[in-house]
Amino acid sequence: MAAIEAQPFPFPARPNELALIVIDMQRDFAEAGGFGESLGNDVSRIGKIVPDVKRLLEGFRAASLPVIHTMECHRPDLSDLPPAKRDRGNPTLRIGDQGPMGRVLIAGEAGTSIIAELAPVDGEIVIEKPGKGAFYATGLGQALAEKGITQLVFAGVTTEVCVQSTMREANDRGFECLLAEEATESYFPEFKVAALSMIRAQGAIVGWTAHVDDILKGISHA
């Protein structure tokens, strides 16, 4: 596989060690009545990246490269939800409350599920995570090690929260991380711009960023 055109310099992709990780493309963050909206956010911004996330998913599937999905969610008994997380901010719906799409961010509830167009297919790994970072209190590290994955292409939401947290966790664990620019979004446009800049600053201190078209071009010969 040729290096993928990226910033701040080409991403040295190795096809046998590369996977796509799609972070938290859940109804609760993207649809009216969910957790994102309960925090006062304009969730329509999230829906707009669905076609680009889908293009990436289809590209990785066509190239037979591994795909991982994450979901931010908690156990029904809330035993993995620290009070400090539940009580933070001033949402109209707190995690675990009953909302229009079921209990907010609880495993198995309708609102917690991944948007239908981006739903996992057989064989793809789905990681349920109680934190913002996907390595904390999950089996993600072991799942990646078992598949020999050392490089991750990131998509999903939100750029500066769960995506960036997971990229930083992965970077510290030795993974090379590439963020797909059009396939990630924030409720705050200025935070997306800032997060992309922070990630690729200082010679890719957290990772690389690239356009979806360039990633798809890079993996098409995998």
Closer residue to ligand C5J in complex, CB, 151/186:
186
- Closest by Cα among 175, 193, 179, 174 to 4: 179
- DSSP 8-class letter at 160: I
Question: Given the rule CB under 6 A, which of 80-88, 120-128, 155-163, 210-218 is the region that contacts ligand C5J?
Answer: 155-163
Nearest-Å Rg of the Cα atoms of the chain is 17
Q: Which of 28, 162, 177, 192 is catalytic?
A: 162
Mark whether 73 is an active-site residue.
no
162 is catalytic: yes
CB of 72 to ligand C5J, least distance (A): 5
**209 lies in the site for ligand C5J, by CB under 6 A:** no
The structure tokens listed for 69 are 């999905």
CB atoms closer than 10 angstroms to residue 184: 26
The closest of 174, 161, 102 to 129, measured between CA atoms, is: 161
Say if CB 94 and CB 104 are below 8 A apart.
Answer: yes
Q: How far apart are CA 157 and CA 164, in angstroms?
A: 9
Q: How many residues bind ligand C5J (CB under 6 A)?
A: 7
- Under 8 Å between Cβ of 151 and 15: no
Please give the residues from 29 up to 88 whose contact with ligand C5J meets the rule CB under 6 A. 29, 72
Position 162 contacts ligand C5J (CB under 6 A):
yes
Tell the smallest beta-carbon distance from residue 34 to ligand C5J (Å): 11
User: Is 24 a residue that touches ligand C5J (CB under 6 A)?
Assistant: yes
Q: Which residues bind ligand C5J (CB under 6 A)?
A: 24, 29, 72, 157-158, 161-162
Active-site amino acid positions: 24, 129, 162
